[in-house]
Structure 1
């Protein structure tokens, strides 16, 4: 069983310089090793490259993929010579949040949408839901066309409320979304009363809702993309190469400094999510590294567990939220429980140490299936793998995507609030057009609230922690639900 922070002989404090630790806990998704995990395309760093991408997770690898497609003319663009692209990763490929999440491709239909509507109007809120739904469809189409083995499943995702007041609030939000006449809400079904528990199978459920979503094995998807990229010969991957700084030269280019030397480039893309403030200090209060917890639950050999066809977001009577993804082998991937560790800020807030668990929630998922789902009482289901991950939570709950303000030639795609899987694929495609063809943010299909800007940066710099969404509104770490 993984150690907890308090089990270690030395105290580990949050890394204020925002660099990942060297020895993260192993997640279930990474138990199958991959030959490219520690790959370096060349023994030495290239001295020159056209584009540097910092981060080899879903955001960085997807952006590289779409850049290659852009230059090949496969996205409706004019074919051009492929640029040289160097991907710098501080640890192993896909060892960060992407390789440690819950495997959920779950669009936000109504969860945070009312907050965005209140701030910026109905259309701004609807843009986010519609973009995430389009992201699910586009990624499903791509995975099927490429025949990628990553356990993609299109399913229904079920929201469950066991607290009566919370259920009533949820129903009011559902009704308000319907009142806006958003087309996508036609996919949502809401149940209350006696029907709820029978439909969702969760003990004590007083309301539930369902809509279309997906699940997959994220590590396998990213490593497939990476393999294809390296075949193109225009992409150079350098793992275990943390970026220490990015410096401008006199000709409009940049020197990217690492412990192994420097790389000179014309453009830099920051796709290192929770760690972005280590090289872009202006984002220090905008994107905060926050830890979450996730685990795999399995039944003993020879036991057939009750069938679960849906993914879930469960909320207990005491408001503890968990996300859950069933797998074809009968095991369950489940995480969250942020309400249990919220009071212990030092264990999760501004903390990059994914080598140890969050003590306050380390045992929460023991017997979770037995106490939560009807029919699981005698299955012997137990946690067989448990891990933690570091996510990038933004001050206002929205990702930061686009050109870094006042830094021409530098771009960012980070701050996904534990919700990157439903956003990144299409966001990376649109960012690639900005990088390769100079397309403005406003010309892309990215929701307007995702645009990084000086205004957003300054709002977080000047604001109080308790006024932001991370602390102030209960937008707690859920490890990519």
Structure 2
């Protein structure tokens, strides 16, 4: 039995694959050693294996144990800051490159599902829901921006009547449907990708926390009971590195998000709540997100705990949010509650780079991890293979330490979040 089981989530309870992989107990060689068996590590491994590299993944707990197996399961395009924001930082030419990459993650996910026959309840279609006219204006601008960057034929603005045909709630004045978005059972996606890694000859060791990374021409990665000598190392631990690489910590902060899952609602009620079976997220700074599971439960998430402390009563935080959206669920029982960490950066853009010549990393998806991590895997694999244009574009993004360092990053972020939450409430 692995010493660290999955969080007690709906996803873990409904996982397709309960296989437990062995611990690393020997010294081995591999072209690439990847730290972390979440989406970033798994996507990197799959792309590297297709390029002919030998790959070993070391996972401290279980495949998909962190955010990859606990998130809201929504396939959302672009990044946590949109393409226009990035363009202001990097200029027109690199902005165009980010515009091309903004929609690639969802395509990678869907192609991996098809290629490796992964059973993870894939459904097409995601909706951004506007709570006030200001947010609706923002969605109109987002549609124009995304179409300018080539995302044509996928987007549809929804007025007040349209959105009532998508979500049975009085909260929204309109929305934007992205038909190329969608939703999945996130843990089953990770487990399916892990199986695909192994089918291509990759090795995955669970219960194998990395304790030290020795840099050099052939870096060596140590666990408690073994080691991997490699030509390249990929650090893909995101919010769960636990101080392993101090140089990656100052400019990022783990944050917790909470999720609840109802009892099965039955076809009639489920189809009434979300008739098109799209996933939905609102446009608030601290947003709510929800969707139906494959067995017709409502999965509802939201809230941010800065510094990633686990709240004592998750249901007390999220259930009122769910009832504000769907008061008709007053008597519905909550079967599962859990929390998971994502990594926030001050810029809300991912941090990608290299330590020395051969240790690569990607982290800090800032809440947009499902699609970004799959793109990151392709970019990291291409860079290791010698095609670094897109890697360099990400690596050139400026990143700043949180004001006051680790001691003050939580209160400063909470104050910022309060400010934006008040703006959302006032619709200004």
- The TM tier, using the shorter chain, reads 0.7 to 0.9
Contact 1:245 1:258 in 2 (8 A): yes
Report the equivalent of 1:229.
Answer: 197
Q: Quickly say closer, same or farther: Cα 1:369–1:398, change in 2 above 3 A.
A: closer
For 2:56 and 2:257, locate their aligned partners in 1 and report how far apart those are by CA, in whole Å.
Answer: 30
Report the equivalent of 2:237.
Answer: 272
Q: Quickly say closer, same or farther: Cα 1:106–1:468, change in 2 above 3 A.
A: farther
User: Which of 90-99 and 112-121 deviates more?
Assistant: 112-121
For 2:79 and 2:210, locate their aligned partners in 1 and report how far apart those are by CA, in whole Å.
Answer: 37
Report the equivalent of 2:383.
Answer: 434
Q: Quickly say closer, same or farther: Cα 1:153–1:126, change in 2 above 3 A.
A: farther
- Look up the SS of the partner of 1:305 in the other structure: helix
- Look up the SS of the partner of 1:256 in the other structure: strand
Q: Which runs of 5+ in 2 are unaligned?
A: 420-428
Contact 1:277 1:283 in 2 (8 A): no
For 1:460 and 1:320, locate their aligned partners in 2 and report how far apart those are by CA, in whole Å.
Answer: 22
Q: Quickly say closer, same or farther: Cα 1:210–1:62, change in 2 above 3 A.
A: same
Report the equivalent of 1:336.
Answer: 302
Report the equivalent of 2:426.
Answer: none
Contact 1:401 1:451 in 2 (8 A): yes
Contact 1:87 1:236 in 2 (8 A): yes
Q: Quickly say closer, same or farther: Cα 1:159–1:439, change in 2 above 3 A.
A: closer
Q: Quickly say closer, same or farther: Cα 1:349–1:265, change in 2 above 3 A.
A: same
Q: Quickly say closer, same or farther: Cα 1:372–1:64, change in 2 above 3 A.
A: same
Query: What is the CA RMSD across the aligned residues, in angstroms?
Result: 3.5
Contact 2:154 2:178 in 1 (8 A): yes
Q: Quickly say closer, same or farther: Cα 1:314–1:96, change in 2 above 3 A.
A: same
Report the equivalent of 1:372.
Answer: 325
1:473, distance to aligned residue in structure 2 (A): 5.4
Q: Output aligned runs, 1:396-415, within 5 Å.
A: 396-404=347-355, 407-415=356-364
Q: Which runs of 5+ in 1 are unaligned?
A: 1-20, 72-81, 339-347, 477-481
Deviation by residue 1:269-298 (Cα, 9 ceiling, x = unmatched): 101111346222111122221111112123
Report the equivalent of 1:363.
Answer: 316
Report the equivalent of 1:294.
Answer: 259
For 1:281 and 1:236, locate their aligned partners in 2 and report how far apart those are by CA, in whole Å.
Answer: 27
For 1:161 and 1:370, locate their aligned partners in 2 and report how far apart those are by CA, in whole Å.
Answer: 17
1:381 maps to 2:371:
no
Match 2:90 to one of 109, 120, 123:
120
Match 1:393 to one of 329, 335, 344:
344
Deviation by residue 1:343-373 (Cα, 9 ceiling, x = unmatched): xxxxx3333x6xxx42475413326555413
Contact 1:269 1:412 in 2 (8 A): yes
For 1:86 and 1:475, locate their aligned partners in 2 and report how far apart those are by CA, in whole Å.
Answer: 43
For 2:65 and 2:416, locate their aligned partners in 1 and report how far apart those are by CA, in whole Å.
Answer: 29
1:160 maps to 2:129:
yes
1:424 maps to 2:365:
no
Contact 1:247 1:255 in 2 (8 A): yes
- Look up the SS of the partner of 2:401 in the other structure: helix
For 1:199 and 1:221, locate their aligned partners in 2 and report how far apart those are by CA, in whole Å.
Answer: 25
1:95, distance to aligned residue in structure 2 (A): 0.7
User: Which of 222-231 and 182-191 deviates more?
Assistant: 182-191
Report the equivalent of 1:311.
Answer: 279
Q: Quickly say closer, same or farther: Cα 1:328–1:177, change in 2 above 3 A.
A: closer
Match 1:190 to one of 157, 160, 165:
157
1:223, distance to aligned residue in structure 2 (A): 1.5
For 2:83 and 2:410, locate their aligned partners in 1 and report how far apart those are by CA, in whole Å.
Answer: 18
- Look up the SS of the partner of 1:67 in the other structure: helix
For 2:109 and 2:122, locate their aligned partners in 1 and report how far apart those are by CA, in whole Å.
Answer: 10
For 1:275 and 1:103, locate their aligned partners in 2 and report how far apart those are by CA, in whole Å.
Answer: 19
Q: Where in structure 1 do 4 or more consecutive aligned residues deviate above 6 Å?
A: 461-469
1:471, distance to aligned residue in structure 2 (A): 5.5
1:119, distance to aligned residue in structure 2 (A): 3.0
Q: Quickly say closer, same or farther: Cα 1:34–1:139, change in 2 above 3 A.
A: closer
Report the equivalent of 2:176.
Answer: 209
1:90, distance to aligned residue in structure 2 (A): 0.7
Q: Quickly say closer, same or farther: Cα 1:380–1:295, change in 2 above 3 A.
A: same
- Look up the SS of the partner of 2:41 in the other structure: helix
For 1:229 and 1:452, locate their aligned partners in 2 and report how far apart those are by CA, in whole Å.
Answer: 30
How many residues of Structure 1 are paired with residues of Structure 2 in the alignment?
Answer: 410
1:104, distance to aligned residue in structure 2 (A): 0.7
For 1:121 and 1:322, locate their aligned partners in 2 and report how far apart those are by CA, in whole Å.
Answer: 32
For 2:368 and 2:379, locate their aligned partners in 1 and report how far apart those are by CA, in whole Å.
Answer: 18
Report the equivalent of 1:74.
Answer: none
Q: Quickly say closer, same or farther: Cα 1:220–1:192, change in 2 above 3 A.
A: closer
1:99 maps to 2:69:
yes
